[in-house]
Structure 1
Amino acid sequence: MTTWLDVPDDHLYGIDNLPYGVFSTAADPTHRVGVRIGDLVLDAGAVAAIGRDAGLVGDGPDLAAVWQTPSLNAFLALGRPAWTTARAWLTEVLRDEVHRDGVSPHLHRLDDVTLHLPVEVADYVDFYASEDHASNVGQIFRPDNAALPPNWKHLPIGYHGRAGTVVVSGTDVVRPTGQRKGPNDPAPVFGPSIRLDIEAELGYVVGGATALGSRVSVDEAGDHLFGVVILNDWSARDIQAWEYVPLGPFLGKSFATSVSAWVTPLEALGSARTALPGQSDPQVLPYLRGDAFGLDVHVEVRLNGTVVSRPEHSAMYWSPAQMLAHLTVNGASLRDGDLFGSGTISGPTRETRGSLLELTWNGSEPLTLEDGTTRGFLEDGDTVTMTAWAPGPHGTRIGLGEVTGTVRPAV
């Protein structure tokens, strides 16, 4: 599908993508919703206002109003029918030459905008959906036990994180401080983490709030899964190892979670849908069955410019639809702006492992970077950048943006 803009058909952010974000400019510091097309950002609310005032938008929701707010939350609240209508309308105004004169004044160069956290995160949950990652972590942390816990293939394991420390790409990450105790230490000590790590994940942005006591089935999950971000779940492995028994991650995870500034709509990833690797042994319980699709997303992780990993999301054992169904099966409600992570994306080979814990086998096999330095875990000043793409229609690629962060010393 072509556009009247000078955007090549094979651009990662072509008209088949149209991710949403929140931006401002020097001339107008108001935070509002933008849509990326090529290397431009469309002021979605301003263009929708033109259509509304001209009577071209129809009798649906006031998109101008919801897009002139400082987060995507008001738009998320409208639900799947409105998301589909909005995407079709945006595609039309960027495809048909007749809209050029009205739309052009509301396009900004990507280099001229400041991007902000796209969603006011309501609740944050992180899952553990990669069998390879779970097996590797089990071997590292519990070498005398089975790699996978006995419940792992029966339900998507997850934990509740801290919504207030989700930050947008480009935000520095301060090295966390806490308690740690090595296996041979006589007592715990307090201080900065010395095993600071990353986790390459996808994050799923949720809309369409539900009532407390209700459930969302696997087949209904698509009505609530708005879109996808790249997510880096920064992890202090030494703090985590000392604290996580018996209740799971806490301070080792809650200090920062970075997400990409662009939210790729699930509708843009139709060509990336793929079957799960297989859940026949054991067969999952009925509430976890249905349209449990996977996503063929290719992730790249760079540490100070060196590619250290290329995880493949298509190998994930659990589907985002199953994760959402499990999250709500006890009657937990959804809120507009909920975010949940896939858990670390890891594969069976070293180059597809999505964390330094696995890549260096808990620091025992350090990585060598292009500048000749080595890393077991992150050092102050290190910059981690994750990018991702998925197959699009007609052989194109859909870009999922970028999430980057630099480690700053503990305070």
Structure 2
Amino acid sequence: MEHITLLIGIVIVTALVFDFTNGFHDTANAMATTISTGALRPKVAVAMSAVLNLVGAFLSVEVAATISKGIVDESGIRPEIIFAGLVGAIVWNLLTWLAGLPSSSSHALFGGLIGATVASVGTGAVHGEAVVMKVLIPAVAAPIVAGLATVLATRLTYRLARNTDPEASATGYRAGQIASAALVSLAHGTNDAQKTMGVITLALVSGGVIAPHSDPPMWVIVSAGLAIALGTYLGGWRIIRTLGKGLADIQPAQGFAAQTGAAVTILASSHIGFALSTTQVCSGAVMGAGMGRKGGVVRWSTAGRMVAAWGLTLPAAGLVGAGAALLADQGDWGVTAVAVLALGACGAIWAASRRKPVDSSNVNEAEAGEPAGVVTAAIQAVAPPPAGALHQDAPATSPVAPAPAATAAPAATTA
């Protein structure tokens, strides 16, 4: 019993580490457009997001129930399997963070758990119908729905504001962005913090600490909320840069439309227990905002890398989780080996990130070699945005500026 108790403690700590990485990995979902348009200073934005993530963790347990009771069979799961699945999720989260790709922490968790379960117990312990209905279908539908809704919302926003004073509308949109970003943060807490609650609850059930089909105890809810809030406060600056500047040129009106559409989608999914990816919803909304503004541009090369990462997340995290499970099944030395290898991988990823650090001071700077400025200028020359739109909404520090005629041709040739 002492061994099981110790192992469950290790699983709980590992789950909270995953929750922490989920926080800084997904900060961009709520705050990337708010930071990129200058509506809030970076540090203020992540602090507000952290507080609201914590509040959101207490609003519902439907998603936690989906994970602890729906994805895998509680009766066939041991703490070693959950530990291995969490290792797969953490490693994939850190790899995509290093690359600045807003991949799904949720799918990393699902992939890790499913891979570890299949390797250790077999496919019979995975509820395939629940995976399809509550993970795969929402994964495909959510970004499409959020993107289409945001295209329409962005076009409607610009149409309604076409005769308003540019300075007044810019101020109003920035205020709207802050409110909608707060709503996204709250929604993120109701969805993503619960995933860790579900994993910890599953570990407690597997160790016989609580009865099967139990809801998360209050101390689990509190600890998961605090872990994701702390990770959010530290800020996933690399992914914030990608989502705020690398995917599309977002102005306050577009940011407001994107965040509002994303928040509604996430809150609706939390209410019905769909453990969807907030990353995919918010990324789809940002792309929709880029397409919704006349003259707006989506950087499809970046979008393609993101979609590729989305497709790889489940199998990649699953493979790592499966390998970790096979090793952990060898006994105490196997669990220790998994822990040592995981710490080594995390340390190596962190060391690699320090070569080109991204923080609150340079998060709004364009990455070196980014060709999007040339593409943006070319497309805007063909389909210019509404008169004054680029001026009234763009912050003074915006890195996107019309290219001089004399330099446009050489730049295009280089690209």
Give the alignment's TM-score, normalised by structure 2. Answer: 0.27
Give the alignment's TM-score, normalised by structure 1. Answer: 0.27
Higher RCO structure (Cα 8 Å, ≥6 apart): 2
